[in-house]
Structure 1
Amino acid sequence: MSDITRTVDWMKTRKGKITYSMSQRLGPNSYDCSSAVFNALIAGGFLPQGSFIGNTETLYSLEGKLLIPIGPSQAAYGDVFVSGVKGGSLGSGGHTGIFIDNKAIIHCTYGYGSNNMAITPAYQWMGDYSGLPVHYYRLKNSGGIIIPEGENKPQMTILVVDGYWGLATSKRAQEYFGCAIRDGIISHQFKSAHNQFIHSAQFDQSLIGSDLIKAMQKWLGIKVDGLAGPQFVIAFQAKMGTIQDGIISSPSDCIKEFQRRLTAGKL
């Protein structure tokens, strides 16, 4: 079974530990941008073991099969970007990596010191700095919900009970709580140990909070600030009847129960 968390974790465990090389790109000590992405996709089960380690052009060939086009505003945890003109993206003509959230990516790059699996801002690091066109993709069967940009049609999302708080779980919760925006993204969260494994969260320093979390806080009867902090997590775990340690783990028994109840339509 494919698992977007394993894909991202393959990249994260090599952060700062490998070097960038186009000539020695097959690991384990060095990769280039595309060989890193292919290995991460294999680790996550999106490609079978032993798959050909391709390049940016090979990734483009997977469009509509494994890679489903999305808009830049929809890019979230586990989504893939590929930059460069299709048919001319080889070598320095292209780049690729994986989103950590809408504003940050993890990628193997020669532009970040000597150890080159790095987490950087997405803007000006995807190849857009040199004017390359950037294409955004969601992995098929990643659990993410793909909504055409500009649309927000009601949809009953059927969940897999896997304990991972991803885009599908957030979208179903947005449906259940009647949120105006149902994009599967929990916006404007302050990252901490309590919420770092909410995979559909977008982290920043704004403290604006999320409309979904505000709706859930009202449901839980606690302070409403839109932030999934320790008070929210403990109250949420209590409501789900699971251990109240204040941490959303990955996977989480609390989220498994939440997914069961959301699918049943009875929280």
Structure 2
Amino acid sequence: MANVDTMIKWMTDRENKVVYSNARPWGGGNPAQYDCSAAVISALRAGGFVSSGSNEGWTGSLHDNILPGIATKISRAECKKGDIFLAKYWAFDGHTGIFLDNNRIIHCNAGDMTIRTTAADGRMGPTPIEYYRLNGNTIPNTTKKGETTMQCFFKPDGENTVYYFDGKGLTGIVNPDEKNILNTIYKENNGKDMPYINRSDAWFTRLKDVSKRGIVK
């Protein structure tokens, strides 16, 4: 059975231990050498998402032949552990790697000359960038049956600001992407969108009292 953790382990086991080379080495040499797509395809094979075989493939074939059969295109905001990015897949300066979470990727890249974990944004290569979710890559719902959570988005009447309430405190949402990411995580864990409450200022005052923060960020 295909396994995201096994796929990522192939990458982490080789982190800082291999050399980046765009000569299509596929692990040859001492130390072993890979380019970005050779590393990702090798990891996909290790994880059982594609069959082992001859050393073939690059970013173009990931886009055209490999990922369409095993993955679904997603948005940047949805990216999580095990998702794959493809940057400018048709060109020599294209790039690919694997998400460890929404903010970090592991990739064999020319900047570090090895496989390394880095920030995602700014390190995925030239635009345009596409994002893919491997079929079957789901985060299990760990919420116990009958258990409820207190998280919600709250927008007071007459205000433009949307706040996030985590059950303890209130935080103002500065960027719409922040709301999208929080909602994506909540939906993965609970199977539904986070509640969105639009009530009077009196409700907001009471919620601030409950949060015991007096003033929100």
TM-score (norm 1): 0.52
Between 1 and 2, higher relative CO (CA 8 Å, sep ≥ 6) is seen in: 2
Q: 1:74 corresponds to which residue? A: 78
Q: 1:173 to 1:125 in 2, by over 3 A?
A: same
**Higher strand proportion (structure 1 or 2):** 2
Q: How far did 1:119 drift?
A: 0.5
Q: How far did 1:175 drift?
A: 7.9
Q: How far did 1:48 drift?
A: 0.8
Alignment equivalent of 1:38, drawn from 32, 38, 41: 41
Mapping for residues 140-219 of structure 1, pairs under 5 Å: 140-142=135-137, 144=138, 167=139, 169-170=140-141, 173=143, 177-178=147-148
Q: How far did 1:178 drift?
A: 4.5
Cα offsets for 1:150-174 (capped at 9, x unmatched): xxxxxxxxxxxxxxxxx1x13x638
In structure 1, the gaps of 5 or more residues are 145-166, 182-187, 189-209, 214-267
Cα offsets for 1:59-113 (capped at 9, x unmatched): 11134421211111110011100111x5xx2321x1000001100000000101x
Say which SS state the counterpart of residue 117 (structure 2) adopts: strand
Q: Is the 8 A contact 1:106 1:119 kept in 2?
A: yes
Q: How far did 1:177 drift?
A: 3.4
Write out the 4+ residue segments of structure 1 that deviate beyond 6 Å after TM superposition: 210-213
Q: How far did 1:50 drift?
A: 1.1
Distance, in Å, in 2 between the alignment partners of 1:5 and 1:90 is: 29
Distance, in Å, in 2 between the alignment partners of 1:16 and 1:96 is: 17
Mapping for residues 11-160 of structure 1, pairs under 5 Å: 11-28=11-28, 29-50=32-53, 52-61=55-64, 62-84=66-88, 89-92=90-93, 94-112=94-112, 114=113, 116-127=114-125, 130=126, 132-142=127-137, 144=138
Q: Is the 8 A contact 2:107 2:115 kept in 1?
A: yes
Distance, in Å, in 2 between the alignment partners of 1:77 and 1:124 is: 18
Q: 1:176 to 1:119 in 2, by over 3 A?
A: farther
Q: Is the 8 A contact 2:4 2:47 kept in 1?
A: yes
Distance, in Å, in 1 between the alignment partners of 2:91 and 2:7 is: 23
TM-score (norm 2): 0.63
Q: 1:120 to 1:176 in 2, by over 3 A?
A: farther
Q: 1:51 to 1:69 in 2, by over 3 A?
A: farther
Q: 2:172 corresponds to which residue? A: none
Distance, in Å, in 1 between the alignment partners of 2:101 and 2:5 is: 13
Distance, in Å, in 2 between the alignment partners of 1:121 and 1:174 is: 33
Q: 1:101 to 1:53 in 2, by over 3 A?
A: same
Q: 1:117 to 1:174 in 2, by over 3 A?
A: farther
Residue type of the alignment partner of 1:66: I
Q: Is the 8 A contact 2:20 2:34 kept in 1?
A: yes
Say which SS state the counterpart of residue 101 (structure 1) adopts: coil
Q: Is the 8 A contact 2:26 2:55 kept in 1?
A: no
Percent identity among equivalent residues? 34
Distance, in Å, in 2 between the alignment partners of 1:35 and 1:98 is: 12
Q: How far did 1:25 drift?
A: 2.5
In structure 2, the gaps of 5 or more residues are 153-165, 167-184, 191-217
Distance, in Å, in 2 between the alignment partners of 1:59 and 1:173 is: 35
Count how many residue pairs are aligned between Structure 1 and Structure 2: 152
